């Protein structure tokens, strides 16, 4: 048993960061002895919370992935000085030397290793008193989180290593494990989702709930072109949530009728979102900003442009969905209901269902816009545009245009030459050098 606990404690120490006080009721969880961890229901709960702590690092749930994907698409421009950001902006990320790419890779694997450790410890527990209900719910939540982490990695990099059990992270962020194919990763994600769905406790908007997992399940199916399965996954959510009346109210911290899953940051674990978007006069560095093409694309009556300040001035345009520059306690969404409605509308339109327009127009109505007719003929272009207007600055755009087959159009509209090899990012060279089971031949083509 001590070997299991030791590995668990190591995993929780890697990539450690703060966690919101209401979710972690321990004075110093990183100092727990190896013979004291996961011995009862409370410690099992605390172990799961440790996974959220990994989720809340800047390179997983905070500023960096949102900005990198936005730069890689057409919703954000690079207004700062980081050369690594420039590489994402011009869709030419280098495998060697791009620390942002390396940090995203390492940090997502930090979350995966925490999830692995919790799952392994609970499935192999031979001492202590963890109730079967708490054990089942904790394992389910760890698997839901692990599925989310792998889903991001699969969309960003294609096939990735799938470390399991008590593999350590010494040297290699992915645990010296060979690279799996993209299809193998998606099969693994779907197995985790299927194992977890229905077994989660619904602990509020800041935890992975069954509804949040249904959204993830639908997104995975849509990524794979499995549209009927995606529609089935979303059906239970339709009508169970309501859009807020005012778009700006979405970005006030806290629970609301539209929130399905969002991250709760405190002053101990800043996400740095507002810091990277706001100018130095407001305490930030304005490393990125909305593109002028995005700002100019809004209809004159569209209220969603209100979260972009100075939309006609390229030198001062800023995104204001996140505004806590000083302490970084903004609460970014992982999933919200408007996203679900747009997904559902797309699925219905692909199936030639005339009611598809009702769902996209529910989102447009909140934005003070008239209705559109969504059909199987125009679904790709209309949905892509509506998702951009609704979800800009929330980390969705690049993955949307890639899934919808619009990547070439978007990249060429930036004045760049399209390169199909750049649809995925390079495996960090540091990982290739350190991972005993990966060679240069495993690198994505063209890098």
β-strand partners of 333? 262
Residue 12 has a pLDDT of: 43
Q: Give the N- to C-terminal CA distance of the chain in Å, as an integer.
A: 43
Strands 259-262 and 318-319, by their bridges, are: unpaired
DSSP string of 363-379, one letter each residue:
HHHHTT-------TTTH
* Cα gap 112→118, rounded to integer Å: 10
Task: Indicate if the pLDDT at residue 355 is higher than 70.
Answer: yes
Residue pLDDT, tens place only, 268-316: 889 999 999 999 999 999 999 999 999 999 999 999 999 999 999 999 9
Residue-range definition of the domain harbouring residue 117: 2-262+333-441
CATH assignment of the domain containing 347: 1.25.40.390
Any domain includes 154? yes
Q: Is the dihedral of CA 255, 260, 261, 263 positive or negative?
A: negative
Report pLDDT digits (tens) over 332-345: 999 999 999 999 99
Any domain includes 371 = yes
SS3 262: strand
Is residue 286 assigned to a domain?
no
pLDDT of residue 266: 87
Number of domains into which the chain is organized: 1
Task: Look at residue 322 and tell me if it is in a domain.
Answer: no
- Does residue 130 form part of some domain? yes
What pLDDT, on the 0 to 100 scale, is given for residue 27?
Answer: 37
pLDDT tens-digit series, residues 213-233: 999 999 999 999 999 999 999
pLDDT reading at 4 higher than 50? no
Whole-number pLDDT of residue 32: 36
* Model confidence band, residue 23 (pLDDT cutoffs 50, 70, 90): very low
The answer to whether position 43 is within a domain reads yes
- pTM across the whole model: 0.92
Tell whether 327 is covered by a domain: no
Does any domain span residue 288? no
């Amino acid at each position: 048993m001590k070997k299991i606990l030791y590995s668990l404690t190591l995993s929780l120490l890697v990539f450690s960061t703060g966690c919101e006080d209401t979710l972690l009721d321990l004075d110093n969880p990183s100092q727990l002895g190896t013979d004291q961890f996961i011995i009862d229901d409370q410690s099992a709960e605390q172990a799961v919370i440790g996974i959220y702590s990994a989720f809340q690092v800047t390179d997983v749930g905070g500023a960096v992935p949102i900005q990198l994907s936005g730069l890689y698409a057409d919703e954000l421009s690079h207004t700062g000085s980081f050369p690594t950001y420039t590489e994402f902006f011009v869709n030419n990320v280098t495998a060697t030397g791009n620390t942002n790419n390396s940090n995203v890779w390492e940090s997502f694997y930090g979350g995966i290793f925490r999830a692995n450790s919790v799952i392994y410890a609970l499935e192999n527990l031979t001492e202590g008193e963890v109730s079967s209900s708490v054990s089942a719910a904790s394992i389910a939540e760890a698997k839901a989180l692990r599925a989310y982490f792998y889903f991001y990695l699969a969309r960003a990099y294609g096939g990735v290593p799938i470390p399991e059990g008590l593999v350590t992270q010494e040297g290699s962020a992915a645990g010296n494990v060979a690279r799996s194919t993209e299809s193998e990763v998606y099969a693994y994600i779907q197995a985790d989702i299927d194992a977890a769905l229905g077994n989660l406790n619904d602990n509020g908007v800041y935890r992975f709930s069954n509804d949040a997992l249904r959204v993830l399940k639908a997104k995975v199916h849509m990524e794979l072109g499995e549209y009927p399965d995606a529609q089935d996954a979303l059906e239970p959510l339709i009508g169970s949530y309501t859009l807020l009346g005012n778009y700006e109210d979405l970005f006030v911290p806290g629970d609301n009728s539209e929130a399905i899953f969002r991250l709760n940051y405190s002053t101990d674990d800043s996400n740095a979102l507002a810091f990277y978007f706001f100018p130095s006069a407001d305490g930030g560095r304005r490393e990125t900003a909305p593109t002028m093409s995005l700002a100019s694309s809004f209809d004159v009556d569209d209220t969603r442009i209100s979260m972009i300040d100075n939309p006609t001035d390229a030198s001062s345009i800023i995104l204001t969905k996140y505004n806590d520059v000083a302490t970084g306690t903004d609460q970014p969404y992982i999933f919200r209901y408007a996203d679900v409605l747009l997904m559902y509308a797309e699925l219905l339109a692909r199936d030639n269902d005339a009611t598809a327009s009702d769902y996209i127009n529910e989102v447009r109505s909140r934005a003070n816009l008239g209705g559109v007719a969504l059909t199987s003929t125009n679904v790709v272009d209309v949905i892509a545009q509506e998702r951009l207007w609704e979800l800009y600055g929330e980390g969705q755009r690049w993955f949307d245009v890639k899934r919808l087959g619009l990547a070439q159009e978007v990249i060429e509209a930036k004045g760049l030459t399209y390169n199909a090899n750049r649809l995925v990012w390079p495996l960090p060279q540091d990982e290739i050098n350190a991972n005993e089971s990966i060679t240069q031949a495993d690198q994505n083509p063209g890098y």
